[in-house]
Structure 1
């Protein structure tokens, strides 16, 4: 979700693993035969659901909601496969930037959506004081401007992952949050779709982030991040506001370092005013002066990069609260710059 978020692919690489053992593997299926159900695993899953049902009921979730959410529910083998076999794809910064994040199509579509939603974005910016370009950039990066929100049933995916055991504790809590969301009527069970790991809707919030961050911006009584563009974009802005976005400050800027600069020896931890970087010989890549002089920044180096250097400000750290990898934060900032 959320949330949520280097490209390994990044989504949930930082989640804390659960300690429960994985269920036993089903016996091999002879060639040409359909897979046979594993009765032991089925009983374990039913026992697991009974425990979740009891816990959710104690938390106030209605029996009717639980009946609808759990009707015909079975573990999804594809979810387990994706969780266990996440692709170990490590891209350079340049590949990630140009092939994945800052493609001409993503930039062009971002400009179009920014223009088409200008009035809505102005209202959201007035309410949350967050740069609407960054809101649109997150929207574009997470779900291609709402066009790819995921096709997995969220309750099924979370139940599978909570039962399967590798991160059982985390996903059980997310499943309980999803059940509370259903019980509150924000979305119908059949519409609660998302990623294989349970990230939901246009902002890709995990259910717990939905509970904390999603907003009803269109005033219809539901926080609908699936089908309400107003709710989805305002929820992204609310997320950034809650994490300390500073209105009017840039996220960062590409710079040309002074002669003799060594990336291997660069101090990327110390924040100092831009005037200090100017005295050291740093200059903006576009030729403009480093300004405002008193704004604090730190050197930011892309992971697996080939020489590009940035000065990152406080708002870059806020962007990285959405997804921590430095390359993700830099790409969102650069996309926002290109959108408008």
Structure 2
């Protein structure tokens, strides 16, 4: 197991922690004894969760090609079912869009990726998951606070504790909200007086729209556009901190892949270059709404998938015009070593986490340009010797 105490000893300490730490904090926030007992009475740690202190760390993850995120089955499945849901729930989606400004296609794409439009099995007891992580993970304070938030939901929302199913990470229901996000953003979409993100499709759609609106979704703006970036425009210009008017990107020679001009209502708005595989894949000019999508899940590829699938659902667009190159295959350890090498040279890579976010991508490009190379802005095996030493 890797723990110094026996499992029996840890379970005894776990029970004491629930009664001595969690219950007083929950009671102070209005949770009744009956609610606490219904949610946590007799609960024991779920020992097989990944990422527990002292547990197995697992094998080193591969840093793969971004193109793998857009598998044929994943994209087509989310699109085809999304179109069915658009037909079924057109009136509900229109009402949510009027209230929040968030297009129905965007709400559908998030619903699809998070829970396959409510069809995915959500297998876990959220209280057991959060209690286990609050006691045994490296983020004890975070998960303890989420556990107390879940207890508050059970106390105030008329949702039975047994119905509050979650993922192994504690994300709940069809939109996969953490409990604290439920308390902030869950919405009643069907008018029954409660926000049931487990069993109500309307509540799920309203909650996703409310989350995005509250995070700053700009009504009337798109998420972004696939573009062709000429060689004269460096990939090192990527990032939300290097924005400029979309009309200025157009003057620099950046153009939409479909040959259409950028919409007139977008030209004065700020846009940002986004190249998730550097020069080895599709390129985009994204709007501030793209970064609102990232507030839902802090991943460029997640936000891109949502925007792309939404466009496929509503407009019937095809695959990206740009093709994903054969890159990746490095371990996250390799990428992290390269990031540390760039940091030693004064680059801001956004942290040596083994993930090639925009700060890492453009730092690689700046290093390439400074050493007389053509900038590709993406980690490659050939760079390891120069950067990771």
Query: What is the TM-score when the length of structure 2 is the normalising length?
Result: 0.74
Is 1:328–2:302 an aligned residue pair?
Answer: yes
- What does residue 44 of structure 1 align with? 13
- What does residue 60 of structure 1 align with? 30
Question: Using the alignment, how far apart are the partners of 1:86 and 1:144 within structure 2?
Answer: 27
Pairing partner for 1:107 from 79, 89, 97: 79
Sort the Cα spacing of 1:86 and 1:134 in 2 relative to 1 into closer, same or farther, 3 A: farther
Deviation at 1:167, TM superposition (A): 0.9
Deviation at 1:39, TM superposition (A): 2.6
- What does residue 111 of structure 2 align with? 139
Question: Using the alignment, how far apart are the partners of 2:58 and 2:131 within structure 1?
Answer: 19
Question: Using the alignment, how far apart are the partners of 2:56 and 2:283 within structure 1?
Answer: 35
Kindly report the root-mean-square deviation, in angstroms, between the aligned alpha carbons of the 2 structures.
2.0
1:260-305 CA-to-partner distances (Å, cap 9, x unmatched) read 4443x33433211222112111110111012322122111111477
Secondary structure of the 1:79 match is: coil
- What does residue 168 of structure 2 align with? 196
1:129-160 CA-to-partner distances (Å, cap 9, x unmatched) read 21111000000011111111520100000000
Secondary structure of the 2:45 match is: coil
Is 1:215–2:187 an aligned residue pair?
Answer: yes
Deviation at 1:86, TM superposition (A): 6.7
Sort the Cα spacing of 1:115 and 1:85 in 2 relative to 1 into closer, same or farther, 3 A: farther
1:49-84 CA-to-partner distances (Å, cap 9, x unmatched) read 102112211221111111111122000012256786
Sort the Cα spacing of 1:329 and 1:231 in 2 relative to 1 into closer, same or farther, 3 A: same
Q: For the Cα contact (< 8 Å) 2:223–2:307, is it kept in 1? A: yes
Deviation at 1:180, TM superposition (A): 0.6
Secondary structure of the 1:172 match is: helix
Q: For the Cα contact (< 8 Å) 1:136–1:233, is it kept in 2? A: yes
- What does residue 202 of structure 2 align with? 230
- What does residue 278 of structure 1 align with? 250
Secondary structure of the 2:225 match is: strand
Deviates most, 89-98 or 152-161:
89-98
Q: For the Cα contact (< 8 Å) 1:186–1:223, is it kept in 2? A: no
Pairing partner for 1:93 from 62, 66, 73: 66
Tell me which of the two structures has the higher relative contact order, counting C-alpha pairs closer than 8 angstroms and 6 or more residues apart.
Answer: 1
Sort the Cα spacing of 1:85 and 1:196 in 2 relative to 1 into closer, same or farther, 3 A: farther
Moved over 6 A (4+): none
Deviation at 1:116, TM superposition (A): 1.1
Q: For the Cα contact (< 8 Å) 1:94–1:305, is it kept in 2? A: no
Is 1:71–2:51 an aligned residue pair?
Answer: no
Q: For the Cα contact (< 8 Å) 1:254–1:284, is it kept in 2? A: yes
Question: Using the alignment, how far apart are the partners of 2:157 and 2:244 within structure 1?
Answer: 48
- What does residue 123 of structure 1 align with? 95
Unmatched segments (≥5 aa) in structure 2? 315-389
1:214-248 CA-to-partner distances (Å, cap 9, x unmatched) read 01222222210000111111000000110111111
Q: For the Cα contact (< 8 Å) 1:274–1:297, is it kept in 2? A: yes
Query: What is the TM-score when the length of structure 1 is the normalising length?
Result: 0.85
Sort the Cα spacing of 1:173 and 1:305 in 2 relative to 1 into closer, same or farther, 3 A: farther
Q: For the Cα contact (< 8 Å) 1:80–1:160, is it kept in 2? A: no
Question: Using the alignment, how far apart are the partners of 1:196 and 1:280 within structure 2?
Answer: 46
Sort the Cα spacing of 1:267 and 1:284 in 2 relative to 1 into closer, same or farther, 3 A: same
Pairing partner for 2:219 from 224, 238, 247: 247
Unmatched segments (≥5 aa) in structure 1? 1-21, 27-37
1:98-132 CA-to-partner distances (Å, cap 9, x unmatched) read 35752x12211111111111111111112212111
Deviation at 1:259, TM superposition (A): 3.7
